Chain A
């Protein structure tokens, strides 16, 4: 957390004691995990009042909570409704923190162009991945669902470099991802982007076969991959 140490909030609230700060951060994580939107919002305000850096509130509070949620999802304790309601709690708190994040400037991690590949509208998994990557500090460009290959390429060209992440839940549409990788190549953008793919019918061997860089089995895996690429880059 070198950034937050470098960027201590000046003026306004006096910094609260470390124990109080730790309590608020773990409270934020717990509120997300408990699907408690009200508590998440209240604690986001308390975090700001206690002089906690907004970025730290996200990374050390909310996204830790979301990591617990994701772990519970992987273990079959939480399912899609729980993930979405936990995410709502996280987003409600992020709304409180966001203006203060902006004041701190960009967070400097890579841009990610993400979407559900054309022909498919199943976007819950994609939304969870977007959320986790966003919480991990990546600059997300979410194109939504049923995204034409051309739109991915267009957005990638605009962004210039980083990561392209595509998902599908359907075996009938997964081959559009092969077209996506080819289209990035044709546009001369393939070298500027890492490509990760995910979704029900996919596999690591499928990712290799279509020329993607990696397959992410779940949101945690997507964050691990993106973070590893980020470290290799910087």
Chain B
């Protein structure tokens, strides 16, 4: 390991198209970082210093190529008024959506992305990581794209109905959410992090290609454009199935697509020439419930399918590394990347 370049050097070279030593590896270590530090998720999710320390501890343990700050997909909607509940040792989730009635939409405020809700928790976590290990590794901050924020603001089921029954309301909410997504990108960059967008509700498992194109894509485009304007690499993660929308994802302005339920060979064939692919060891079946050998086998298959893709490839998990994943399984994935030499 000591002879290897630092992850920051590797990722920096990789993103600027220079040759690197091996396949980069970014398992999505999110709430799992709390386990590495030995704290409960609620504490992790509400205390920026704890979140930062947990991610540094996880990075020291695993040596992954990018720190990814994240705890739940509701954090932006919360900043706009959605009430969450915080289980002691699991990610926060929606309790009461802010826009239960259409009339509530007008009362959604423009907030300060540096101060509202728990947004300062993410920013403090980013700052802590940058301070502590920022000379060795880049720090990304993953947060929801406008479609997922709007769904969490309105209640997912109701928002899904709005797409048909009240598209004007959906679009008005999306606009407010897009503004916050843009503002928060500025705040993350200011803290020294790389803003990265995740859009789980816009997944091909949830909405149609037509709905994605009309309602989700414009907000993703604007968010990623802001990230690009900040001089940072636009990264987009959509979990679930993405086969039906991957060409649109590749046209969104993203430089890196983080993928879940799609064959990497298919992704490579469809969009590998335009974007870097990132994925996709199965989180539950393999990382949580499999053995280190299962992880090695599946990671090796990902590498075999995607290595040499013209836009590049980053070995990753399809979605969040589950909380209770055995560290041996994360290390097994890192080991496959270290053995996948490029030069």
Which residues of A are interface residues toward B (Cβ below 8 A)? 35, 76, 78-82, 84-85, 88, 119, 121, 123-124, 127, 171-174, 201, 203
Contacts and interface: CB of A to CB of B under 8 A. Distances in A.
B157 A84 contact: yes
Contacts of A80: 160, 206-207
B93 A81 contact: no
B162 to A, nearest CB: 9
Contacts of A78: 208
B169 to A, nearest CB: 14
B324 A121 contact: no
Contacts of A121: 93-94
Given A79-B211, A127-B157, A172-B322, A85 B165 contact: yes
Size band of the B side of the interface? 20 to 34
Interface string B196-232: 0000000001111001000000000000000000000
A179 B137 CA distance: 41
Contact of A124 (B156, B163, B288): B156
Given A79-B207, A80-B160, 5 more contacts: A85-B161, A123-B157, A124-B156, A171-B322, A201-B284
A85 B161 CA distance: 6
Nearest to B239: A200
Contacts of A201: 284-285
Of all A-B residue pairs in the complex, the 3 with the closest CB atoms, nearest first, are A171-B284, A81-B160, A201-B284
Contacts of B164: 35, 81-82, 85
Contacts of B156: 124
A147 B143 CA distance: 28
Nearest to B91: A172
Nearest to A203: B285
B331 interface: no
A79 B94 CA distance: 22
Contact of A81 (B205, B207, B324): B207
Contact of A84 (B160, B211, B244, B288): B160
Given A119-B90, A124-B156, A172-B324, A82 B283 contact: no
A74 to B, nearest CB: 12
B238 to A, nearest CB: 14
Interface string B171-198: 0000000000000000000000000000
